[in-house]
Amino acid sequence: MNPYVTVVNQRHYFARLLLEKCHPAEDPHGHAGQALTQSAVYQLEAAYRSHLRAIAFEYRCADPENIVTVQHLVSALRAVDKHPAEAAELDNLEGDDQSWLFALLTAHAALTGSRAVDAAAGIEKLGISLKDVTNGREQGLSADRVEEWLSAFDELVNRHREMMVEC
């Protein structure tokens, strides 16, 4: 049994729970909704990283726990002479600045301050602004947008799992 599947499922479930708690009518300033939405981004990004590890585990890569990027996954798969479509798809999605995965990872990078220059450029291009609750500036990271990412992730994971059954 792949131990990473449970983690992916748990993070996905937590992201969905957080998004279900976003109720604009009960949150006139939007602070709680924004906090929940940003937390869902963290959970969804963690689910994605665990999905990378799940793929590495399924294809019997050494040390799947050390996989933290799609580039690590591709390298680990090459080391065992495997080139599955799942890794190629993820690599393409990460590199496509129009994809939901690029948008998710860019939003996460902006929230965490990692890859600050890349994140700032990506955030501007995607039209995502992270709400500054101290002065109430307009937000761009909406629960609806993150729900779209969650649905796309769900479809991707299910498709990958079906493909990996054949491993």
- Of the listed ranges 25-34, 127-136, 143-152, the least confidently predicted one is 127-136
- What DSSP element (H or E) covers 9? helix 3-20
Shortest CA distance to 161 belongs to which of 86, 100, 91?
A: 86
Q: Where are the alpha helices (DSSP H) in 59-99?
A: 70-79, 85-95
With bands split at pLDDT 50, 70 and 90, how would you rate the model's confidence at 118? Answer: low
Determine phi and psi for 14, rounding to 5 degrees: -60, -40
pTM of the shown model: 0.85
Contacts of 127 (CB under 8 A, 6+ apart): 140
pLDDT tens, 142-160? Answer: 999 999 999 999 999 999 9
87 touches 79 (CB < 8 A): no
Please give the structure tokens belonging to residue 136.
């109430």
For the chain, the average pLDDT equals 86
The answer to whether residue 137 scores a pLDDT higher than 50 is no
Determine phi and psi for 126, rounding to 5 degrees: -80, -10
CA angle, 151 then 54 then 72, to 5°? 100
41 touches 23 (CB < 8 A): no
How do the domains of the chain map onto residue ranges? 3-164
Determine phi and psi for 47, rounding to 5 degrees: -65, -40
Quick one: average pLDDT of 127-148? 64
User: Cα–Cα distance between 56 and 54 in angstroms, integer?
Assistant: 5
84 touches 71 (CB < 8 A): no
The answer to whether residue 13 scores a pLDDT higher than 90 is yes
Distances (CA, A) of 157 to 9, 42, 71, 72, 90: 10, 17, 18, 19, 11
In the chain, what percentage of residues exceed pLDDT 90?
69
Please give the structure tokens belonging to residue 1.
């049994």
